[in-house]
Structure 1
Amino acid sequence: MSILTPGTLVVSCQALADEPLHGSSYMAGMARAVVEGGAGGIRANSPEDIRVIRSSVGLPIIGLWKRDYEGYEMYITPTVQDAIAVHEAGADIVAIDATGRPRPDGMSLQDSIAVLKDRGISIMADISTFEEGLHAAACGADYVSTTLAGYTPYSEGPIPRLDLVARLADRLEVPVVAEGGIWTPEQAALALERGAWFVVVGSAITRPQLITAKYRAAMDRSARTGA
């Protein structure tokens, strides 16, 4: 049974180390703000941020840990130990990279999910293709999310991939999550119509530097056209 009800808006409260809002206190404030706006869940990066957000809001948290391992492309909770750390920090669901790329700890996706589920950890599989989504569900993932569609070399293309959401929702019994490149409320609503159990929105809500840049770029294009 999902702890997140159908139609929930999950907001990703994350900022990387080189971004202005990096820091757990900023993310805790952001989490409180989106709760006031009606978010039903939070997606958060790193044990530190998860602990602080956990103490600030009572919503379910989808946790992950973006880590770079030399020689590996994976960076969303790449190892079993990373996932355990995220869970112990207070995440209700742990998001892991479920693409077909090599894992830094040498484990298969199936074995990784089995170890984590033996510990009672709910798993969200972040995938980039239809085949990866089917495989992740077969391996026991509790949720399948389109997070990485368009972000792996073999899945490049325009986002959001609402067609992928629809295909997965038609085939899978586990909840399918729409995430990645959702910039408008209309796209979020359409994702639900395409079969998403819930929708995760990040940059369009919680990364003001990117939001500002979109406004600036649109205004610059308008100015050039009118010149």
Structure 2
Amino acid sequence: MNTLKLLQNVLVASCQPVDDGPMDDPRITAAMALAAEAGGAQGLRIEGLDNLAATRPVTKLPIIGIVKRDLPDSEVRITPFLEDVKGLADLGADVIAYDATQRLRPVPTADIVAAIKAAGKLAMADAATLADGQQALAEGVDILGTTLSGYAYDIAPAEAGPDYALIRAYKELGAFVMAEGRLNTPERAEGAIRQGADCVTVGSAITRIEHITGWFADAVKRSQND
């Protein structure tokens, strides 16, 4: 079945452990993916070649693959190089996502998209603004994601909610829209679909125990100050 059809109106679980944390192990990432699948996720987002290599053999769900890098001369982190695209494609990612912002980068976005398409994969733009989305569509992407809204350019305040306005704007462009970013409650995920998203990706609220525990710990501390 067409991958976009498989991703229509479903939950994608982003299985990305905290870097260098106690769960940062490919075997644990694969286990997270299976647990998310058991819970009803119908797609996965996996970061890193080692994690993808561990996860692809154990699930038939569509996988969105990315590689994150910390570059000395660019703020772009998500799949910045052509060799990242090749590695993800070779290991079986169905969709390859990349940073689609218009910031200084080592490889032009058009070249990244062309490499993804040449590998026979779907291209997903991790974008932040309407202009990002327009450029990505012009370059041939298959999926527009709100992934970097509030993280690129202007950092959103900690209390900011999902960017529903950007979801609506991307839908008006005629895109297949992946809602992603600050969708950390079931109600917010539902709201994203109601605003026009075709699919929803949730990460920290599902797979990052450190973050989830911190939310509860902070709430307990706040109660002591009331």
Same structural fold, with TM-score higher than 0.5 when normalized by the shorter chain: yes
Note the residue ranges of structure 2 that are not aligned, 5 or more in a row. none
Aligned partners of 2:161 and 2:70: how far apart in 1? 24
CA distance in 1, matches of 2:58, 2:115: 30
From 74, 77, 88, the equivalent of 1:75 is 77
Question: Quick check: 2:96–2:116 contact (8 Å CA) kept in 1?
Answer: no
| Residues in 2 aligned to 1:16 and 1:187: alpha-carbon distance in whole angstroms | 23
User: Structure 2 CA distance, aligned partners of 1:208 and 1:129?
Assistant: 30
Matches within 5 A, 1:88-107: 88-104=90-106, 107=107
In the alignment, is residue 118 of structure 1 matched against residue 118 of structure 2? yes
Instruction: Please tell me the residue identity of whatever aligns with 2:38.
Output: E
What's 1:177 paired with?
178
8 Å Cα contact 1:79/1:103 also seen in 2: no
Q: 1:96-175, aligned counterparts within 5 Å?
A: 96-104=98-106, 107-154=107-154, 156-157=156-157, 158-171=160-173, 173-175=174-176
Secondary structure of the equivalent of 1:4? helix
Match of 2:65, SS state, is: strand
Runs of 4 or more consecutive aligned structure 1 residues displaced over 4 Å after TM superposition: none
Contact 2:14 2:202 in 1 (8 A): yes
Three-state SS of the structure 1 residue aligned to 2:70 is coil
1-structure distance, mates of 2:155, 2:17: 24
Residue 190 (1) aligns with residue 191 (2):
yes
1:197: Cα distance to partner? 0.6
One-letter amino acid of the structure 2 residue matched with residue 31 of structure 1: A
Structure 1 CA distance for aligned equivalents of residues 7 and 88 of structure 2:
22
Deviates further, 113-122 or 128-137: 113-122
1:14 to 8, 11, 16: 16
Query: Which of 49, 52, 57 does residue 50 from structure 1 map onto?
Result: 52
Task: State the Cα distance separating 1:17 from its structure 2 match.
Answer: 3.0
**What is the CA–CA distance in structure 2 between the aligned matches of 1:27 and 1:111, rounded to whole Å?**
30
Alpha-carbon distance between aligned partners in 2 of 1:144 and 1:179, rounded to the nearest angstrom: 10
Q: Are the equivalent residues in 2 in contact too, given 1:14–1:44 (CA < 8 A)?
A: yes
Q: Distance in 1 between matches of 2:112 and 2:44?
A: 24
Q: Which amino acid aligns with 1:220?
A: K
- The two structures, once aligned, show a CA RMSD in angstroms of 1.4
CA distance in structure 2 between the aligned counterparts of 1:122 and 1:212, rounded to whole angstroms: 35
1:32 alignment partner AA: L
Instruction: Provide the identity percentage.
Output: 38
Q: CA deviation at 1:155?
A: 5.6
Matched, 1:212 2:213: yes
| 1:123-145, Cα deviation, whole Å (9 max, x unpaired) | 10000111101111111011010
Aligned residues of 1:25 and 1:52 also touching (Cα < 8 A): yes
Amino acid at match of 1:123: A
Q: Secondary structure at the match of 1:124?
A: strand
Inter-partner Cα distance in structure 1 for 2:5 and 2:52: 17
Residue aligning to 1:221:
222
Query: Aligned match of 1:39 in 31, 41, 47?
Result: 41
Gaps of 5+ in 1: none
